[in-house]
A and B are shown apart, each in its own frame.
Chain A
Amino acid sequence: MTTERLFDIVNDPMRTDVRSPGRLGLEQILDAYQRDPDFASMVTRWERVPAVAPRLAPFPVWLDERIVRTLRGRGIHALYSHQAQALEAAHARKHTVVVTPTASGKTLCYDLPVLHEIAKDPSARALFIFPTKALAQDQLAELERLSTEMEIELKTYTYDGDTPPQARAAIRSAGHVVITNPDMLHTGILPHHTKWVKLFESLRYVVLDELHMYRGVFGSNVANVLRRLRRICAFYGSHPTFICTSATIANPVELARRHVEEDVVLIDESGAPRGEKVLVFVRPPVVNASLGIRRSALLTGRDIAATLLASGVQTICFTRTRVQTELLLTYLRSRFPQPQWPSDLVRGYRGGYLPSERRAIERGLRDGSVRGVVSTNALELGIDIGALQAAVLVGYPGTVASTLQQMGRAGRRGELAVAFLVATSSPTDQYVIEHPDFVLGRPPEQGLVNPDNLHVLVGHLKCAAFELPFDRAERFGTEDTPGVLSYLDEQGILHEAGGRYHWSDQAFPAEAMSLRTASNDNVVIIDTTAGRTRVIGEVDRFAAPVLVHEQAIYLHESRQFQVERLDWPSGKAYVSEVKVDHYTDAGLSVRIRVLDSFASEGVAKRSGRERFGRAHGEVLVTALATVYKKLTMYTHENVGWGKITLPEQELQTTSYWLSLAADATPGWPRERVEVALAGLGDLLHGLAPLFLMCDPHDLGLAVEVRSPHTERPTVYLFDMTPGGVGFSERLFRATDALLERAREHLAACDCESGCPSCVGPAYAIGHDVKASVAELLA
């Protein structure tokens, strides 16, 4: 990653050019695509981004001469401007956040200050925190290479779940740089800080790489882990400087401040050069107008990737899920049969592969022996796979930041590169593909965290008390710290003595707490047709009672499956393929009770009418799936029903709500209000993730024709995380923009009366749904 342009060109024999493209060069392929009317009709934007020249800055005069010598030896005679800025800021002990594109040499921004510090003072220590273990491995290798070349005595170790117990003692006392992840910091290092005295006494730098990953629940947890870290540092008398790096988001400084809780310097002007690049936005055509179904993004993506690979263009494909990765891999391999093509022409890469397998693929990508790879977002982060020529994104990755990072995998070295984004029929994808500027312009997404969410904070406050007793006046995030402490004292979890609160429970609190969301705790769908057992997909657990209750018809890749058995406790739905002329529709009775309203106000009038009121606050959501209906395809007649017996789910969280004012639906019959409200709910729920850097599943939807709280028809969008991570407040503030986007999206949607990409299918909600929602928003 640090081996950027200058390394590559001057002094890196490993990075000789990718094998020269075969039959057709990339230029010709793109040309052919532009001339092909079928392809051109799918393209919503063809953007050519010109090359950018580097901006360089001299090495700081204070920089250790061994470092300078080594860099010169590698052919680097200057730094990129952002690297030099980062170096100066870190050297001046200012917390820093560096926001520059993929492959701009971010790693040197923190490697160099740390190397310099340890070169000057061998007792100095640094802690590198990476969101995943794989990233840590990569960093270890790079830092070791650098320090060896520089002849600086520097011991770098990774400390994670894979570190053998025999090695741990040496790492604790001798490691200059300890590379770890937040989870290990949380359960393995902080609660045992007395074994890390040397590290904490002399901790100068903490590196937080991929800061944008620390958002949502995970980020809120990590922010609290960092509070604990700083508390322990203070106990041992150190005050480390934080160096953060982040992908492009709208609020890097705010996010960094939430984590560091002190002033942070922003460095966001990249001095790195960029090659010429073509970005293509592709929307597969509608194949079933009645159901509003488009051609599969996966198949369209396969065709593009196959064309590129057949011409020798080294290509990376990104999919959104593991299952899709496997599917696309299978599709592509069947396009390149042996023996005409080498067996490992295309490789798969995702979590769940063995580390050695992954390393081999990474090497293959770097040296050009692997020509194609299909990956989940596992390869989006800074794992060193060198430069590829083309990237094919199957489905919008969910955030602009991810999109840019994935697209950035193509084209690092001053040659022409291309990235395709192929949209699925989900509302978010359709919005993005219809509005490419959403990706190409300034990012609208905020990395949101809410470290003071009591659900999150109390858990960490317990961990903190386990680590060191609390002084009565001490603050841990919230102003209310003394209140929380005395509450825990009453509960017997803490014990006050001598003016301090001591941990007084035999449990080890960190062990019982995971930093990650429960979002990967999905219900897995297992196809058992003809004696197979094959995972074909997964659904969110909150949605599972509706989608995969027993007897439900589950659609997958345009095929019908019936759920034969749902093993609720272990999260498995067993299905088999069927050919029937009906589908199922389950009713979910969601009840929402407002516990506390934090703020509420009217939405600016439009066309002289007051239509909406907005608010956000704390709610209690209960959801119960009760019955399902069997409806015929196309005619949607009710031909039967059944009961669903699954447990009710309860969730205490924060919610945003939008209520219709009396003027919004003048004289409308109740049924029409119901239909319009349901459609509006679907539309807003589909678009809200565009602002929040979240997955649609992170946000729940409920509508009430007459809310007991607002006494008006109301749409609720609530945070699926207990306690909330800040989505509702952000939506409250962004209401105008959200409604504006909804209006645009509805007007641009090709469908006649409502489809899954906008307000939901008209046949299921009501024939006038699209028109009614349009009138509400007009």
Chain B
Amino acid sequence: MELRERLARVAAARAVLREVEGRTWKGSGSNGTGSADGEEDLPLRGMHVKRHQIDDETHASPSEGPGRRRERDARSAPFTTSEERHDLRELGLEIVGLTPPDPLTLAHLGLRGEPPRRWEDVVFLDTETTGLSGGTGTYVFLLGTARIEGGELVLRQHLLQDLGAEREFVGAIHKELEAFRACASYNGKAFDLPILRTRVVLALRGELNVDETHLDLLHPARRLWRDRFGSTTLRQLEASILDEPRGNDDVAGALIPDRYFHWLRLRDQRIIEPVLRHNARDVISLVRIADRVARAVMDARSGRVPDHARAALALARIFERHGEAEPAYRCYESAYVEGDSTIRVRAALPYTRALERRGEIDRAIAMLETLLGLDIGTPSWREQGESRLRRLMRVRWRKQALATAS
């Protein structure tokens, strides 16, 4: 039998078995049929939406667009790089790129190691990949970066033109990233960076040194906003924090890999264009979210404590962890005052600790007595509360005794 025919039979036999028995071939792997479905309707959908977007852009003069766009396109190049510049204030930024980065704020954002002194040393990044599961067969095909340069936000996108040119592509982005003191991402610790690291090993047999200086905004965002909005996907934060929900023309993340494969075969810009837009939007949102996180921290420090109790509690913990007693105290207080009974229970013990540190033993005791009198919280919390109360009583007694003695 012809090889081709046999291979087709292998695929067919698996499909049949899977259907008939639903279990015989655990090991069918992914065959062509799965992605073929997506391929058929994908280009059509893509074309409708895109045509009109491309027209928009071709007709738009640089000054009319959201940013000025330059493109360096070489047909035979292993990858293409495009660049657009944005005005910082137009993006609604207040801190990023505008006031010098404050080391403690950066530490709050999760940075370890020595903090960068200038925003120019921070690169914001987001990758698009050929799969979501990681492993050596998942390629990075698009890297979007944003940096501050000459008072502007410079967005750059490197697009891999074909999988065979990966070495040059990875070489270039490796070089670009290494120039920065720190990099910031959204969920990059778990996703973008491991994949980038894999690509660097494979293509260059090298290493990517960004671990210590990595800001993953997912974590502070979670601490600040998860309780308020449920989820903290970038999509969710755009809608709730930036108040700019993404439109229907945005391509869903799950469809991106197939769109790229499809583009590799058809080379129609209309297929890849929405992916580029999606990535650009991600990177810019990343910068704006970082700005909001930094703003929340700065505000709290300068006394403008959020009146949302859960955010206040999250900030309080961050301040406390980094030894900023005063803002920690103010945030605990806000959380305690504005919060419902659940938040109060959660804030109470650290709050008494902050009060004690300030020497306000009486207030701490009064607060604990009131709370414990309400009969709320779990038994183990009540136990902790009672032992804290006894300790505070002893401290007060000792203080009084000392005062009397002297």
Contact = CB atoms under 8 A, between A and B. Distances in A.
Interface string A564-596: 000001010000000000000000000000011
Contacts of B36: 491-492
A618 B13 CA distance: 13
A197 B200 CA distance: 12
21 contacts: A192-B136, A194-B201, A194-B202, A454-B7, A462-B29, A463-B29, A468-B136, A484-B3, A487-B4, A487-B7, A492-B36, A502-B139, A503-B130, A508-B131, A512-B26, A512-B29, A518-B25, A648-B20, A650-B17, A722-B13, A722-B14
Given A487-B4, A722-B24, 16 more contacts: A192-B198, A462-B29, A466-B136, A468-B136, A469-B163, A483-B4, A484-B7, A492-B32, A493-B30, A495-B261, A497-B162, A497-B165, A513-B28, A513-B29, A521-B23, A649-B20
Contacts of B264: 495, 497, 504
B197 interface: yes
A458 interface: yes
Nearest to A195: B198
A322 interface: no
A723 interface: yes
Nearest to A190: B136
A406 B60 CA distance: 81
Contact of B3 (A193, A487, A541, A595): A487
Contacts of B134: 192, 508
A64 B197 CA distance: 39
A498 B79 CA distance: 14
A462 B17 CA distance: 20
A298 to B, nearest CB: 30
A293 to B, nearest CB: 33
Interface string A191-204: 11111010000000
Interface in A621-666: 647-652
A491 B32 contact: yes
Contact of B26 (A493, A518, A650): A518
Interface string A144-172: 00000000000000000000000000000
Contacts of A515: 27
B51 interface: no
A455 B10 contact: yes
A459 B164 contact: no
A663 to B, nearest CB: 32
B208 to A, nearest CB: 11
A257 B201 CA distance: 32
The 4 closest A-B pairs by CB, nearest first: A498-B164, A466-B137, A497-B164, A491-B32
Contacts of A569: 22
Nearest to A453: B10
Contacts of A487: 3-4, 7
Given A492-B39, A513-B26, A647 B20 contact: yes
Contacts of B30: 462, 493, 505, 507, 509, 512
B29 A509 contact: yes
A414 to B, nearest CB: 47
A328 interface: no
Interface in A284-299: none
Nearest to A617: B1
Interface string A594-614: 011000000000000000000
A521 B261 contact: no
A565 B79 CA distance: 62
Nearest to B26: A514
A488 B10 CA distance: 12
A483 B4 CA distance: 8
Contact of B136 (A191, A462, A618): A191
B140 to A, nearest CB: 13
Interface string A465-509: 111110000000000100110011001110111111011111111
B258 interface: yes
**B3, B28, B165, B265 — which one has the most chain A CB atoms within 10 A of its CB?**
B3
Given A504-B261, A505-B35, A649-B20, A499 B7 contact: no
A65 interface: no
**B27, B34, B39, B202 — which one has the most chain A CB atoms within 10 A of its CB?**
B27
Contacts of B136: 191-194, 466-468
A505 B135 contact: no
A516 to B, nearest CB: 9
A47 interface: no
Interface of A: 191-195, 197, 454-455, 458-459, 462-463, 465-469, 480, 483-484, 487-488, 491-493, 495-500, 502-515, 518, 521, 541, 569, 571, 595-596, 618, 647-652, 722-723
B53 interface: no
A50 B263 CA distance: 74
Nearest to A232: B136
A480 B31 contact: no
B75 interface: no
B391 interface: no
B17 A492 contact: no
Contacts of A618: 1
Nearest to A197: B201
A540 B236 CA distance: 50
Contacts of A498: 162-165
Contacts of B132: 506
Contacts of B20: 647-650
B68 interface: no
B261 A491 contact: no
Contact of A459 (B21, B27, B137, B139): B27
B261 A492 contact: yes
Contacts of B16: 650
A581 B24 CA distance: 36
A491 B26 contact: no
A191 B135 CA distance: 5
B6 interface: yes
B302 interface: no
B261 A502 contact: no
B131 A506 contact: yes
B133 interface: yes
Nearest to B27: A513
Contacts of A192: 134-136, 198
B9 interface: yes
Contacts of A502: 139, 163-164
A512 B7 contact: no
Contacts of B265: 492, 495
Interface string B106-134: 00000000000000000000000011111
B294 to A, nearest CB: 31
A493 B34 CA distance: 10
Contacts of B165: 497-498
A197 B205 CA distance: 9
Contacts of A596: 1
Interface string B249-264: 0000000011001001
Contacts of A463: 29
Given A492-B32, A504-B261, A466 B27 contact: no
A194 B198 contact: yes
Contacts of B27: 459, 512-515
A480 B4 CA distance: 10
B3 to A, nearest CB: 5
Nearest to B78: A498
A480 B138 CA distance: 26
A392 to B, nearest CB: 35
Nearest to A458: B10
Nearest to B254: A506
Contacts of A459: 27-29
A652 B13 contact: yes
Interface in B131-186: 131-139, 162-165
Contact of A458 (B7, B137, B138, B201): B7
A683 B133 CA distance: 50
Nearest to B195: A194
Contacts of B21: 541, 647, 649
Nearest to A521: B23
